[in-house]
Chains A and B, each alone.
Chain A
């Protein structure tokens, strides 16, 4: 099934949830509302066979609203197809439902996203920091976290 057909079926099922569809370098990215992310992911897995969640991560678009995007890179082992789902998350009260019930592998990915990006995953079975020490303050991959370390001047933009 082509990416367009998948997107059409997704739109038919979740008409008010699909915000945007972009194709770039042959890869399809579908942006959806975060409210029904678990239902959408379950639909993608059961209906289109995206049985492997390759990767889950957060992206910080500081200065825009909503500030964060949670990105799901999906793969279908049977048809060897990829597709990407994104869900925007507001800065205030940054949270989204966990998809670890859909793919078990999301567990550690979501812990990492919480640890480094500070996005909370509702109903996550074990939402602890994973890479940083348990008593660490702040979320290092946020754009306002200085690359030099926590006690330095905040990031002011690129040098060149």
Chain B
């Protein structure tokens, strides 16, 4: 792949990864909590599920997502020779 193509492909894949991340973020920040009243009918260890998702569930997703993202973006950088040590 020529250098300009690599630059373009790297940015396209970076964008794609970012949009996936923002999709997950939007789902666990907003979408799922719109159903909190219904989810509260389900109980796990005493936690109503709607409450649990806002108090812990979404947070756990955010943390896991960011560790995954930092690994995945690094892979993208390396794939196109765009990482810092390339």
| A joins B in a complex | no
